[in-house]
Amino acid sequence: MEFKLPDIGEGIAEGEILKWLAKEGDQIKEDQPLVEIMTDKVNVQIPAPRTGKVLQILAKEGDVAKVGQTIMIIDDGSGGAQPLAETITPHPAQPAAPPQPQGAPSSQSVLAAPATRRLARELGVDISVVKGSGAQGRITDDDVKRFASSSSTTPSAVTVQASRPPTHVAGPREELVPLRGVRKTISERMLKSLQTTAQVTHVDEADMTELVLLREAFKGSAEKRGVHLTFIPFIIKALVPALKEFPYVNSSLDEESGNIVLKKYYNIGIATDTEQGLVVPVVRDVDRKDIFELAGEIETLAEKARKTQLTLDEVRGGTFTVTNVGAIGGLFATPIVNAPEVAILGLHKIAKRPVVREGKVEIRDTTYFSLSFDHRVVDGAYAARFTSRLIETVQDTKKLLSEVL
């Protein structure tokens, strides 16, 4: 049987093969983890659909497979299971190949993985004339490279190789790290966000003295509930009245229909630093939860993010994102909007600084809030008023207490 990359929901059209959990020739059982896939939202393990034997793996680790693409051939005992010579990976249109002599093998009939075929095209190699050294005559990357090297004096190969940028070869004090997995997804999403939105960052200062005292007062109650209380639950709760008053900050832009979608619910993404890279789990309906519930949920989601155990439901549906680098340090930064959301709030180091209050200099706990926003939807004055409303709540103990409990 052909094992195809299944539709795992939420409009996800493709996934990167992170790790195969079985190899060719292995006996596998139904529902055992077979392959780990990285989507633009989360890592998922896909189970084996049947009990059987792995005949052929058609996508290498690091390849991007489309939903519905055959990535493995399994002999499940139903008969007729044969290795495939080609997967259904779509490729850019190629010039029509010249007619081949009768009986000559075509590039479609040879046994090779999609990545190997792509390598052959890049090197100007006709893969149908390459002799395979792999199992059942399968053509490997090394076979293609050897053929290209032995034919490197031909005009076609020289032309193709000259047109390609040189591949960097690591020096004695360098290490080459493949751009893949979460790091590759982050690079693609951040670049796309900057290329498709008009981003501006507004920065304002907040006096956190009252909030610092309030957190200290609630830490004991939080410990009794078994949760670690940070400043983030307080900030999230203070966001709610600001988002309600300035709904365009809690929106998205549907470019296809030309509509701005105002969200009447408040699902806050929490950018989380992990060994794999930045992941954004979503805390839902923060307006309906108190600070202790939020603290526990944030702690649980962060731990799952670090262990790559987040589900799709836990990373989708965000309306606004918060990113916190306060524990690391720095004055302020300009975070990149987590598209298709419209805005993201950067939280930074809280430090004691001199502040003028009623004509006198006092030492207060202060920080900076960085609001990056899509100027297509939100104007600068609107963003500034939103940030001022947030700071007003943070600095007023009575207003904050009415929100957090």
pLDDT of residue 90: 53
Q: What is the Cα 24 distance to its own chain's centre?
A: 29
Q: What is the pLDDT of residues 93-150, one digit of tens each?
A: 333 344 444 444 554 456 776 667 778 877 888 888 888 887 667 788 888 888 888 7
pLDDT at 98: 44
Each residue's pLDDT expressed in tens, for the chain with a length of 405 residues: 899 988 876 567 788 888 899 999 999 999 898 998 887 667 788 888 889 999 999 999 888 888 889 999 999 887 656 655 543 335 333 333 444 444 445 544 567 766 677 788 778 888 888 888 876 677 888 888 888 887 654 444 444 444 556 677 888 899 988 887 778 888 888 999 999 999 999 999 999 999 999 999 999 999 999 999 999 999 999 999 999 999 999 999 998 899 999 999 999 999 999 888 889 999 999 999 999 999 999 999 999 999 888 888 898 899 999 999 988 888 999 999 999 999 999 999 999 999 999 999 999 999 999 999 999 999 999 999 999 999 999 999 888 888 877
pLDDT of residue 102: 46
Cα distances (Å, whole numbers) of residue 46 to 6, 50, 89, 145, 218: 8, 12, 19, 32, 43
Residues with Cβ within 8 Å of residue 57, at least 6 apart in sequence: 20, 23, 24, 71, 72, 113
Q: 321-371 pLDDT, tens per residue?
A: 999 998 888 899 999 999 999 999 999 999 999 999 999 999 999 999 999
- Predicted confidence at residue 320, as pLDDT, reads 98
How far from 220 is each of 204, 227, 328, 398, CA to CA, in Å? 31, 10, 25, 20
pTM above 0.85, yes or no: no
Question: Half-sphere exposure (CA, 13 Å, Cβ side) for 106?
Answer: 10
Sign of CA dihedral 114, 118, 121, 125: negative
At 204, give phi and psi (nearest 5°).
Answer: -140, 160
Active site residues: 375
341 secondary structure, DSSP code: B
d(CA 84, CA 117) in angstroms, rounded, equals: 14
The per-residue pLDDT of the chain, averaged, comes to 85
Q: In what order do the strands lie in the sheet with 14-20?
A: 43-47, 33-38, 14-20, 64-66
Helix (H) or strand (E) holding 273: strand 268-273
